[in-house]
């Protein structure tokens, strides 16, 4: 930006002004760095792995919500003669995500239980644990461990099915790859917390369902709030502060949840699918602020997640009396964002 009478020239960089840069210790040390040190310094300032981790956490929150909604209380009518029974279920998810050159892998274990309050109303709760690793240039960059707790309800009235729920996740995240500023390097693992609150409502139409086929078109809406602690790190003589911005998002979904029951010998089975378009509004880009050595403040944005497609295809089987097993593929797709996961499901009614 060119200078004016009242405004000094600004560099196309994280710093406020040219005078502030050329008189700073950061500038004096940076001009004497090796090419490798300069590259690592710019990588530290860019925070690409940090921003990608925020989007990975966002996708995991959405997929957790979908897993709860897609859980059926009694998929094979085992409990038809005893509507007061309880059900325990679990869903183990292995997920691989990609954000351009940044990759993330996660494993999530979800445990749930529910019971019928009356003929049309089911009340349940969930507990979850997850671990996630983000890699940049093949090296570990972030490691996150989270715990989730939530409640949900499912009700069927006339030709509609309504899902309501609230899910809270509390995660601990830690840097893995250190930081470089000029000729200085820090291998400190900086710790912070990341929290998510997800409240959702999903309404499906069941009037198209028959004994041989279910279609279940649905609309959904959810509110997702993600808050991450800000961090501070000393790298040699420099201090780097990272201001993590809170994200508030609305997610509106339109989809189909078809299923086809069939038998393999004496074993009851069901093919299940879930295809949806999701529109995200609000803070669709992760945003952070970076301040290095008080030389200036830079606001960085990550990849936008705005139009998200989700797909799930799987098979569930009633393997023994009141025991069901399932296996499914789940994917999420947006511009510059990909997620593919395998889900293993277990259910027992008692």
Per-residue model confidence (pLDDT) at position 192: 93
**pLDDT score, position 296:** 74
Q: Which CATH code, of 3.60.40.10, 2.40.128.130, 3.40.50.410, 3.40.190.10, is assigned to 33-349?
A: 2.40.128.130
Contacts of 236 (CB under 8 A, 6+ apart): 181, 182, 183, 184, 185, 186
DSSP string, 127-193: EEEEEEEEEETTEEEEEEEEEEEEEEEEEEETTEEEEEEEEEEEEEEEE-S-EEETTEEE----EEE
Rama region for 152: left / alpha / beta (φ>0; ψ in -120 to 50; rest): beta
pLDDT at 151: 98
pLDDT at residue 86, as a whole number: 82
- Compute the distance between CA of residue 199 and CA of residue 179 in angstroms, rounded to an integer: 36
Instruction: Please count the other Cβ atoms lying within 10 Å of the Cβ belonging to residue 302.
Output: 24
Among 91, 148, 150, 147, residue whose Cα is nearest residue 124 = 150
Phi, psi of 26 (to 5 degrees): -60, -45
CA distance 321 to 306: 44
Q: Residue written as tokens 């879930």?
A: 274
Mean pLDDT by 10 residues, the chain (350 residues): 39 45 69 88 90 94 94 68 74 92 93 88 95 91 96 93 97 90 89 96 91 92 96 89 94 95 90 96 94 82 94 92 91 91 89
What confidence score (pLDDT) does residue 110 get?
95
Nearest to 156 by CA among 196, 106, 209, 104: 209
Q: In this predicted structure, what is the pLDDT of residue 149?
A: 98
C-alpha separations of 264 from 2, 316, 338 in Å:
73, 12, 34
**Domain positions in the chain:** 33-349
> Does pTM surpass 0.95?
no
Per-residue confidence (pLDDT) for residue 105, from 0 to 100:
94
């Amino acid at each position: 930006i060119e200078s004016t009478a009242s405004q000094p020239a600004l560099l196309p960089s994280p710093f406020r002004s040219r005078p502030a840069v050329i008189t700073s210790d950061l500038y004096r040390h940076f001009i004497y760095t090796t090419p490798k040190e300069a590259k690592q310094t710019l990588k530290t300032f860019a925070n690409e792995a940090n921003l990608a981790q925020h989007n990975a956490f966002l996708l995991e929150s959405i997929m957790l919500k979908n897993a709860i909604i897609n859980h059926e209380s009694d998929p094979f009518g085992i409990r038809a003669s005893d509507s007061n029974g309880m059900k325990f279920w679990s869903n183990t998810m292995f997920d691989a995500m990609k954000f351009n050159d940044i990759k993330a892998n996660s494993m999530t274990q979800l445990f749930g239980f529910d019971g019928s309050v009356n003929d049309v109303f089911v009340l349940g709760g969930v507990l979850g644990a997850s671990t996630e690793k983000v890699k940049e240039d093949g090296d570990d960059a972030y490691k996150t461990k989270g715990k989730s707790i939530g409640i949900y309800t499912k009700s069927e009235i006339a030709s509609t099915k309504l899902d309501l729920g609230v899910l809270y996740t509390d995660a601990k995240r830690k840097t893995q790859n250190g930081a470089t500023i000029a000729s200085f390097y820090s291998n400190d693992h900086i710790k912070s917390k990341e929290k998510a609150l997800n409240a959702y409502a999903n309404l499906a139409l069941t009037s198209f369902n028959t004994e041989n086929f279910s279609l279940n078109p649905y609309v959904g809406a959810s509110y997702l709030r993600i808050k991450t602690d800000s961090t501070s790190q000393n790298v040699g003589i420099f201090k780097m502060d990272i201001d993590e911005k809170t994200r508030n998002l609305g997610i509106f979904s339109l989809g189909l949840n078809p299923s086809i029951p069939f038998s393999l010998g004496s074993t009851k089975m069901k093919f299940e699918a879930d295809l949806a378009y999701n529109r995200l509004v609000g803070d669709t880009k992760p945003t952070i602020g970076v301040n290095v050595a008080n030389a200036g403040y830079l606001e960085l944005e990550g990849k936008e997640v705005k139009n998200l497609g989700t797909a799930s295809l799987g098979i569930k089987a009633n393997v023994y009396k009141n025991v069901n097993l399932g296996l499914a593929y789940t994917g999420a797709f947006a511009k510059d964002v990909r997620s593919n996961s395998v889900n293993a499901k277990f259910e027992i009614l008692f």
